[in-house]
Amino acid sequence: MAPPKNYNSIPAFHAKLQSARRILAVCGAGLSAASGLPTFRGPGGLWRNHQATDLATPEAFEDDPGLVWLFYAYRRHMALNVKPNPGHHALAALAEKVPGFLCLSQNVDGLHPRAGHPPEQLRLLHGSLFDIKCNACGWIQKDNYDDPFCPALAAAAEDVNPGETLPLLDPSKELADIPRQEIPPCPQCDRGLQRPGVVWFGEPLDEDMLNEVDSWIDEGEVDIVLVIGTSSQVYPAAGYAEQARGRETSVVTINLDAEDEVRRLRSNDFAFAGDAAVLLPKLLEPIIGTPVTDGTYA
């Protein structure tokens, strides 16, 4: 099937945008890549000599909480040493301008909140690196930006000179074991350890949050769904574009490989291939205006 005639026309998208009242965004790791964060997924997704996805399980934490925490402490450190990019700022500005905008993000790096995205218009589907919870009870702490998280994880917060390799990332150098007793215990119960507040493989997403998203979608027709920096392979995030699709809905793919999907587009859809950090400010400009010198919006 041939793609829609104006599927990559920015003026045609602007015409749709200016009449939109309800907009949904679904964001993936490609949005944060422009800030300098690796995705740790797919081919080459190794951390030291470990497949990164193998460390993101409750079983891995139970087996070796120190090793798992080193991986996440390093990710926390990396995230704290980069800045939200123009794509994050554009979405935050859209939220300020359009009350009927909701952003669903699979990213755990904290860059959406740091860009000033209103929390009531943001749902972090997979949690946050900067939330801490107990692995045994319901205790949770929001917005913990300690770096390192605890003294035993100091190796994850080291900085090196340009061109040097962090010793932690050199798989030829053996890691010292971190005993369980050096991981902070839960302050609420006497059974658990503090762990990253992210959703690991094999764990369910927050049911209340998912119900909130479903209710928002059911409130009325969604004019535009922005699918940003994601291959739409991980559910439930991957299903939201079709769940929100109505008769006049435009699903707008913004991704480096967006052109690969053009034959699947419906008549109202758009696809823009490129860096989301570059494209989003241009695509959303009729609503959010132009950024000031630091990439933020007045």
Bind-site residues: 134, 137, 186, 189
Residues 6+ apart with CB under 8 A from 56: 198, 200, 201
Beta strands 270-273 and 250-255 are: parallel
**Given the residues 88, 89, 117, 126, the one annotated as active site:** 126
The alpha helices in the chain, defined as continuous H runs, are 10-18, 29-33, 52-55, 58-63, 65-80, 86-97, 111-114, 207-218, 240-243, 276-283, 285-288
Q: Are 128 and 110 in contact (CB under 8 A)?
A: yes
Q: Could you list the residues known to form a binding site for Zn(2+), using ranges.
A: 134, 137, 186, 189
126 in active site: yes
Beta strands 270-273 and 50-51 are: unpaired
CB atoms under 10 Å from CB of 233, counted, come to: 10
Q: Are 74 and 160 in contact (CB under 8 A)?
A: no
Q: Are 222 and 242 in contact (CB under 8 A)?
A: no
Q: How far is CA 88 from CA 118, 154, 223, 279, in A?
A: 12, 29, 21, 11
CA 217/CA 255 separation, integer angstroms: 23
CA 132/CA 148 separation, integer angstroms: 13
CB atoms under 10 Å from CB of 171, counted, come to: 12
Looking at the chain, how many residues does it have?
A: 298
What the block records as the tokens of 209 is 């949050």
CA 158/CA 78 separation, integer angstroms: 10
Catalytically annotated residues: 126
